[in-house]
Amino acid sequence: MDEITRASQVSRREVLKKGLLGAAGLTVLPTVIAACSSAAATPVVTAAPVVTPVPGVSVTPAPVVTPKGLTGTVSLGSNYSDAIPKKAMQDMADAFTKKTTVAVTVNTVDHGTFQNQITSYLGGKPEDVFTWFSGFRMRFFAKQGYALAIDDVWTTLKSNYSDAFKVGSTGDDGHQYFVPIYNYPWAVFYRKSLFADKGYKVPATMDDFKALCKQMQTDKLTPIAFADKDGWPAMGTFDILNLRLNGYQFHVDLMAGKEKWTDAKVIAVFNLWKDLMPYHQTGAAGRIWQDAAQALVKKTAGMYLLGMFVSQQFKAVDDATLADLDFFPFPSLGNAFDAEKALDAPIDGFMIAAKSPAGQAGGEQDNARAFVGFLGTGAAQDIYVAADPSNVAAAKDADTTKYNALQQKAVTLIGAAQKITQFMDRDTRPDFAGANGMQNFILKFISNPSQDLTAFTQSIQKFWDSLPPAS
């Protein structure tokens, strides 16, 4: 509205009549643009000056601080903005205050904005501790010097986490930068009542899986609910197919650019996906995941491969519907990688911002370290996963007895996995995963699975090669 009105105002006869005005506009504009161009040429997210890590501050661990004797405050930048997570986050902060008397000020910013602005946020005036994700996204900011190494915190936390979590918290330089709070598995979700009514069995192998899909089709059901309007949900399908077919190491190397997308192994993944595509809900490119999940709720679709956050939708309907939700791991393919039982189980957690008050030497740094140390305990994580049961706590000493059936099963599933990945958009560089990259390529594949896959994978590799070196 704003722009339209102005544009029409400016193009009116008045301007033409005065002539000069338009000319002035044209002469002024280039100057203004030129003045900004050097900065404007870089993406907005990298607008903030890159912080040079101060070796003494960001790498050398400070002495371990016991919670006793802490004073002052610590601040938390949180993107847990919707009601339930927001309250859970506040409750954790309050628990810390109760334990240490250090007051926590929470700055909650909505999820999308927080993520879009993360670079300018971390380069501007960030809070001491901020919520973030494991994976490439974590290592990237660690490498940029935006986060403090917290090896000292990890000396205490080490015994409380499995190795997978420690790996997920470690930067490229071998130091720890991240404290996991929870994760959730990606698996095939279904409704117990539907399977019971129709006499379906949970498939263990790909052959069983395909047979079940066929059976569902004869029963007039959509076998696999599917949505990819936002670009990311279908990445989960690629991840699991690649993990099953080519194994963890190949997948990780592919995400890191060490393997080529033109590899016959990648083409095999897309071919397998193509075989399964007739069982998927059609029109995925225009559907958001919640609408696909709705098909599962309404029992018009039989299964849905998604993260456990799908249970939030069931919970929002009512508790009985949530109790009817169950999942099984994606079927194995009968190859050498069956034993890995690998899956996407993205980890969320916390980091300390280098440009925050805690990033500088002083008392607040001790507070921030104590705070993330506290968040790494079961006592803190119990509070969170009780409020939002679509996740399971990351710490070993978390109380799992109060978990619901889904959470119990998730613990088993994740525990059984030898290898855990974070999800494509967390495991590879953001510009590659983004709207111009894999999001776009996967949408293209979904719209036409029978296209020439050699040319298709070449276009992906070409895109990877066109990216600037990752900083």
**Interface with another protein (CB under 8 A), residue from 145, 231, 236, 307:** 307
- How far apart are alpha carbons 390 and 387 in whole angstroms? 9
Shortest Å, Cβ 2 to another protein: 5
Interface segment toward another protein; rule CB under 8 A; list 22-30, 91-99, 357-365, 436-444: 22-30
In order of 162, 352, 375, the CA distances from 57 in angstroms are 28, 12, 22
Nearest 5 degrees, angle CA 252-CA 253-CA 255? 65
- How far apart are alpha carbons 408 and 430 in whole angstroms? 32
In order of 187, 277, 386, the CA distances from 237 in angstroms are 10, 11, 29
- How far apart are alpha carbons 259 and 438 in whole angstroms? 15
Site for another protein in 81-100 (CB under 8 A): 81-85
Does 28 bind another protein (CB under 8 A)? Our answer is: yes
In terms of CB distance, is 170 or 422 closer to another protein?
422
What single-letter DSSP state applies at residue 69? Answer: T
In terms of CB distance, is 112 or 415 closer to another protein?
112
In terms of CB distance, is 10 or 196 closer to another protein?
10
Q: Is 39 left (phi over 0), alpha (psi -120 to 50) or beta?
A: alpha
Does 320 bind another protein (CB under 8 A)? Our answer is: no
Interface segment toward another protein; rule CB under 8 A; list 110-118, 274-282, 356-364, 396-404: 110-118
In order of 48, 123, 160, 190, 397, the CA distances from 389 in angstroms are 37, 33, 21, 17, 17
- How far apart are alpha carbons 286 and 48 in whole angstroms? 35
Interface segment toward another protein; rule CB under 8 A; list 25-33, 219-227, 368-376, 451-459: 25-33
Interface segment toward another protein; rule CB under 8 A; list 101-109, 154-162, 167-175, 418-426: 101-109
- Helical residues (DSSP H) of 219-318, grouped into ranges: 235-255, 264-276, 289-297, 310-317
Interface segment toward another protein; rule CB under 8 A; list 158-166, 199-207, 294-302, 452-460: 294-302
Does 47 bind another protein (CB under 8 A)? Our answer is: yes
Note the residues at the interface with another protein (CB under 8 A): 1-3, 5-6, 9-10, 12-15, 17-18, 20-21, 24-25, 28-29, 32-33, 35-36, 39-40, 42, 44, 47-48, 79-85, 107-113, 117, 120-121, 124-125, 289-290, 294, 297-298, 307, 309, 312-313, 316-318
